[in-house]
Structure formats: C-alpha cells, structure tokens
Structure 1
C-alpha cells in the first residue's frame, strides 16, 4: 500500500506522529470492504501489503497551501507504476507549474459547476 504525501517529513518519527495508526486502520477497513464485496483475492493482497511512503523529488516542507493541487495531480497521474516511471509534472521548486495547475483545475471545477447550474 503506497502512501503519497507531498509533505517532506524529516524523519520516521514525524511520519508516525502525523499518521498514528490511521494507515493500518485504513488498510483494515479497505480489506474488510473487499471481503464484503466478495473480492477475496484482492482482500488477501491488501492484508499482506506493506505500507510504504513513496519518496518523491517534489516533496516540500514549506508549501502547505497547494495540498489539494498535489492531491488532484497525484490522483490523475499515479497508476501504481514505479517511481522512476511516474511523471506527474510537479515542480521541485518554483510556483509557475503550480499556478498553471491551479488555473487548470479551477477552470475544470468552475465550468463543471456552471454546466450543472445551466442544465437546471
């Protein structure tokens, strides 16, 4: 089970302090859901999976304002591939790429809301 976190933790204790037992509980609930839905093979794979925090070059300890942008980009681009093959298009420094992504996602949200409101 891979944890994608754009915040740069400086040591393992900081990760433990942040997540506590939440990741273990999440894995437990997810495997329970898979059992309930009849997917025993995947349930067993999730139960046995190791929880790993992915190491990413664009992690930051200073930018906490754009966590939603990071989240949406991660969800759009990460498909379980190896880190060396993952190209999310996030900068290690600088705001230009983040500004472009902000504008892109806001446009998608606003036009979607407008379309929904117009239909009513």
Structure 2
C-alpha cells in the first residue's frame, strides 16, 4: 500500500483469520489519521470478493480489526527507504508475528549498511530480470 509516498504492507491470514499492518515507520500518529481507513477499505473489498466466491471465511475476515505490528527495525528518522523495507518484509514474513525477524538491525549505521546492500541487490535483480526489455543494454554497460 502507498499513502503520501510511504509504502507499507497489509497482511491477511485467511486460514487463521488475522489482519496486520506491517509498517517500517516507528512514528506513532493516530492509526486512523495515518492510514485514512485504507486498511479497512481493502478488507471490505476483499470480503466482497470472498462473498462473491462463496468463501467460507468471508464473515471471519469481515470482523477483523487491523493490528499494527511492532518490529525492532522500525525507524523514526529514515523516511526514504520504506520501499526497501516492504521488499524485505515480503520476502520474510510468513504470518507469524511473534518473534518474527527479517534480519534487519535496529535503526542506525548497521541498518543503513544493510539497506545499501538490499538496494543494490534489488536494483540488480530488477535491471537484469528477463522481462526487462532493456536488459541487454544494462548488461552491455556492466560487462
């Protein structure tokens, strides 16, 4: 999800109904002021789809309230790398928030170094992916 150029994740567990907001920002404004009902609207759209498909868990999902996860690597001062956090968190989150660790350090120099490595890794994967029509130009510039 994106709001005001800030990226975050919404996680729905259908099998064991839960609804989590995974946000790298440690800033704690009012939940509704920050997310502007977007999580609840997405939940409602999902529920409508589930009802159309006669999914047995539609009522369970409809009653869920979003819970914002507290992670040790959330940041107060890094306002530009939320996309990197989203990518990393998508790679590692399996729906179990207790003791979840995506491998990122707390905010500071070590985390900054980790983010630099991830930035390079993700850029390389995107630029050199087979669906990039300009891949051969990138490879030519690199090699």
TM bracket, shorter-chain basis: 0.7 to 0.9
Aligned match for 1:17, one of 30, 33, 48: 33
Do residues 106 (structure 1) and 123 (structure 2) align?
Answer: yes
Q: Specify which structure has the higher proportion of helix.
A: 1
**Helix, strand or coil for the counterpart of 1:27?**
helix
Note the residue ranges of structure 2 that are not aligned, 5 or more in a row: 1-18, 137-143
In structure 2, the residue matched to 1:7 is 25
Note the residue ranges of structure 1 that are not aligned, 5 or more in a row: none
Q: Specify which structure has the higher proportion of strand.
A: 2
In structure 2, the residue matched to 1:33 is 49
Quick one: distance in 1 between partners of 2:60 and 2:32? 24
Deviates more, 1:16-25 or 1:39-48: 39-48
Do residues 88 (structure 1) and 102 (structure 2) align?
Answer: yes
**Alpha carbons 2:126, 2:132 under 8 Å: kept:** no
TM, length-normalised to structure 1:
0.84
Describe the shift of the 1:64–1:32 C-alpha distance in structure 2 as closer, same or farther (beyond 3 A).
same
Runs of 4+ in 1 over 3 A off after TM superposition: 113-119
Aligned length: 115
* Alpha-carbon RMSD: 2.0
Deviation at residue 4 of structure 1 after TM alignment: 0.3
**Alpha carbons 2:20, 2:69 under 8 Å: kept:** yes
The one-character-per-residue Cα deviations of 1:51-70 (angstroms, maximum 9, x if unpaired) are 10001111112111111100
